[in-house]
């Protein structure tokens, strides 16, 4: 994930069902690489994840960039 402006870009990953979530942030023209594991240790596990992107401006305001639902293969 890359931030190409001052301020930050943030990605939020949330499972459904289960509502487990992880957040990653890249700030001030930097690149952040990451990996993560979201627990799905319940019967059936999560079958989809929602990915939301937002820009965090230097003054603290948020600008929604988009969201997508991804189904588990």
Number of domains in the chain: 1
**Can you spell out the DSSP letters for 5-73?**
SSSEEEEEEEEETT--EEEEEEESS-B----------STT---EEEEEEEEE-TTS-EEEEEEEEEE--
Note the pLDDT tens digit of each residue in 7-57.
788 888 888 877 778 888 888 777 777 666 666 656 677 788 888 999 888
- With respect to residue 14, please indicate whether it lies within any of the assigned structural domains: yes
- With respect to residue 28, please indicate whether it lies within any of the assigned structural domains: yes
pLDDT the model gives residue 39: 62
- With respect to residue 1, please indicate whether it lies within any of the assigned structural domains: no
* Predicted confidence (pLDDT) at residue 2 exceeds the cutoff of 60: no
- With respect to residue 35, please indicate whether it lies within any of the assigned structural domains: yes
pLDDT the model gives residue 38: 66
**pTM across the whole model:** 0.71
Parent domain of 23: 8-71
- With respect to residue 2, please indicate whether it lies within any of the assigned structural domains: no
As a whole number, mean pLDDT of residues 58-70 equals 89
- With respect to residue 55, please indicate whether it lies within any of the assigned structural domains: yes
């Amino acid at each position: 994930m890359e931030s190409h402006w001052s301020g930050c870009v943030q990605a939020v990953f949330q499972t459904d069902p289960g509502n487990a979530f992880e957040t990653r942030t890249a700030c001030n023209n930097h690149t952040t690489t990451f990996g993560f594991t979201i627990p799905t240790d319940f019967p059936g596990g999560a079958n989809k994840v929602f990915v939301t992107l937002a820009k965090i401006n230097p003054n603290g305001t948020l600008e929604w960039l988009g969201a997508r639902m991804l189904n588990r293969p």
